[in-house]
Amino acid sequence: MSEPTNLDGDSLTKERLNSFRVAKVLKHDKPFTCLDFDTSGELLLTTSEDELRMYDCKAGTHKKTSYSKKYGCGISKFTHRPNNILYSSTKEDNAIRYLSFHDNKFLKYFTGHESLVTAIEMCPQDDTFISASRDGEVRLWDLKSNNCHGILKTNSQNPRIAFDPAGIIFAVTTNSSAIRLYDLKSLSAGPFVTFKIPTELGGSTTMSSEWTTIKFSNCGKWLLVGNKQGSSCAIEAFDGKLLWNFADRTCGHYRGPLDMDIGITPDGKYVYGGSDDGSVQFWEPPPVDDATVSALKSHRSIFPCTQLKTLKDPSPLIKFNPRYMMFASAIENQLVWYHSCHHFPISPPSVHPFLSHQTDPRSPRFSTVSFMRGCIK
């Protein structure tokens, strides 16, 4: 496992968000299904129907392709070891494969899911990971063993999963109105708390597979959740109190094969998401502390502070580089790279430290994604 590294750099501001421009568009033969970045921010992993591609984010070049014609590819994730990845199979079986990318050799197979695996999340602190499948099953694994360490039956379709930044607890969406929190070391005891989401913010007992996103904030004090209808909100991570809803999100009409994701920038300052018209929207939630939460009598709406109008087509996959001021999106069979022209040199090396404070790159607050040089205006 790589050691934590510290980088001193600039935090995001609205001015810097507005300075992002398309740097390069890469065409692909097949639609993308997943994007992920390693914790160094130097590698980007893309997944399509039956192949995985690795890109060098500093040079902006394609490094290597690994094919999975027999088993197919769905979700892929970097582990804490350089060039070692996990990916879900879409053909033959529903196994999760542990691949050494540099020599294209399988290290382990994680079998047990009886339905298509739709989510994989690495623990930010060790080699534990969780997976979820379309039939509502959530499994707990460790890279050191092929055996499953725990199974949850959620009785819902396509649950969403997320680790907290400390890697101690994880959250599961069990249906469109409930979120359950589990202690990693006491899985058999069941959830230690269950939150209900109001119907006005998307919660519904009649929809079993409408949630698209669940993520812990960088501080671990609140949860970001979003659904297919475009509703998204933040709930307090300890008692489920509703903090804010992120208003004017325009993605309710998107009907593509992928869910329209919503995320948190690596510095924790902004929430971002794609939209129906191809723009990227940003919201700026206030800092959360005990006094703020106790003083909040009811939730309030937060409206977009800015948006980038870049492309005409919706971008369901959007990821920020965890270490550099870049982000990428996938639109069907196009991979689009962005960077901040105002703060990046055009000539190499076109990388810029992202965070203004010391932090552990293994934390899930580092979303995933990367970019490249050469600003196109």
- What pLDDT, in 10s, does the model give residues 320-374? 988 888 888 887 777 887 877 644 432 222 333 333 233 333 333 222 233 333 3
pLDDT at residue number 79? 96
pLDDT at residue number 352? 35
Amino acid code (one letter) for 329: S
pLDDT at residue number 252? 60
Whether the Cβ atoms of residue 204 and residue 177 lie closer than 8 Å to each other: yes
| % the chain with pLDDT above 90 | 41
Whether the Cβ atoms of residue 282 and residue 307 lie closer than 8 Å to each other: yes
CA torsion, points 337, 338, 343, 344, in degrees to nearest 10? 20
* Residues lower than pLDDT 50 in the chain: 1-8, 208-209, 342-377
What are the residue ranges spanned by the domains of the chain?
14-340
In whole angstroms, give the CA distance from residue 59 to residue 49: 26
pLDDT at residue number 373? 34
pLDDT at residue number 375? 34
pLDDT at residue number 335? 80
Locate 135 and state its tokens: 């039939």
**Where does the chain have alpha helices with state H?**
14-18, 290-295
- Residues in Cβ contact with 368 at an 8 Å cutoff, skipping those fewer than 6 apart: 35, 36, 37, 78, 319, 320, 322
pLDDT at residue number 372? 33
From 271, 270, 277, select the one nearest 309 (Cα to Cα). Answer: 277
From 285, 364, 280, 289, select the one nearest 328 (Cα to Cα). Answer: 280
pLDDT at residue number 2? 33
pLDDT at residue number 121? 97
- Residues in Cβ contact with 251 at an 8 Å cutoff, skipping those fewer than 6 apart: 230, 260, 273, 274, 275, 276, 314
- What pLDDT, in 10s, does the model give residues 57-106? 888 888 999 999 999 999 999 999 878 999 999 998 899 999 999 899 99
pLDDT at residue number 171? 96
From 86, 194, 65, 182, select the one nearest 131 (Cα to Cα). Answer: 86
Do strands 242-246 and 300-302 pair parallel, antiparallel, or not at all (unpaired)? parallel
Domain 14-340: top CATH class: mainly beta
Using CB atoms within 10 A of its CB, is residue 190 exposed (0-12), middle (13-18) or buried (19+)? exposed
- Residues in Cβ contact with 136 at an 8 Å cutoff, skipping those fewer than 6 apart: 153, 154, 155, 156, 157, 158, 159
